[in-house]
Amino acid sequence: MLNIDNLLISFDRALRVVSGQASASRPNPGDAKAEIVLEERERQHSAGLMRVNHVGEICAQALYDSQRQFTQTTAIQEQFLQSAMEEQDHLAWTAERLRELNSRISLLSPIWYIGAYACGTIAAKCGDAASLGFVVETEKQVEAHLASHLQQLPAQDAKSRAIVEQMRMDEVAHGAAADALGASKLPLPVQIAMQGMAKVMTTTAYYI
C-alpha cells in the first residue's frame, strides 16, 4: 500500500520529468563528438527523431516508477530503480541534444507520462512475472526503434548517433535484467497492442 510520502515523491519526480529538468549521472556520449553544422532539413529531422527518443524516456520514467511502486519484491524494486536511473541519463542527454539542435521537447509530455504510468500500473497489478515481461517486450521494441533511428539519422550527426547508440545498449541490458528476474512472455495480442501504441506515440512526437 502506498503512503503519502511515496505519492509526493512520485509527483515531484513526474513534474521534473515532464518539464525537462532531468540531470544525468553519466557523461553525455555526444560530448566526445564534434558538432557539425547540419543543413536545415537534416537539423529538423535529427530534432524530430531526438524528440521521439525524449518522449520514449519520459514514458520509461513513468513505467519504471509505477511498476516499482506496485511490486513488493525487493530485487525487482532495486532493478527497476537502477534501470530508471540510467533511463534518466537518456532523458537528460536527449533534452540537451534537442537544445543543441535549437528545438524543444514534446508539447504533449504530461500526456505521455500519464498514459505510460497507467500502463505500468496495469502491468504491475498483473503480478511480477507479467510486469517483468512487459519490461522485456518494451525494451525489445525500444531497441529495435533505436536501431532504426541509427539508420535514419544524418551520417554526419555524430553527436545524436553517439547518444542513440548508448541508449540502445542500455535498453538491451535492461531487458536482459528483467528477463533474468523471471519475466513471462506476453501474449501476442498484447505485443501487437504495444506496437500500435508506440506507433501513435512516435508519429505524433516527431512533430508535436
The confidence score (pLDDT) of residue 14 equals 66
Determine the Cα–Cα distance for residues 181 and 40; give it in Å rounded to an integer: 46
Residues 162/33, Cβ–Cβ less than 8 Å: yes
The three grid cell numbers given for residue 139, joined into one nine-digit string: 525494451
CA dihedral defined by 28, 48, 139, 152, rounded to 10 degrees?
Answer: -90
Model confidence at 1, in pLDDT bands (50, 70, 90)? very low
Please identify which residue in the block is written with the cell numbers 512520485: 10
The residue among 36 and 1 whose pLDDT is bigger is 36
Assess whether pLDDT exceeds 90 at residue 97: yes
The confidence score (pLDDT) of residue 7 equals 58
Domains of the chain: 39-205 (1.20.1260.10)
Average pLDDT, the chain: 90
The residue among 12 and 58 whose pLDDT is bigger is 58
The confidence score (pLDDT) of residue 25 equals 87
Backbone angles phi, psi at 85, to 5 degrees: -65, -40
What is the per-residue pLDDT across 175-192, written as a single tens digit (0 to 9) for each? 999 999 999 999 999 999
pTM of the prediction? 0.89
Assess whether pLDDT exceeds 60 at residue 2: no
The confidence score (pLDDT) of residue 72 equals 86
The confidence score (pLDDT) of residue 99 equals 94
Give percent above pLDDT 90 in the chain: 76
Helix, strand and coil content of the chain, in percent to the nearest 5, comes to 75, 0, 25
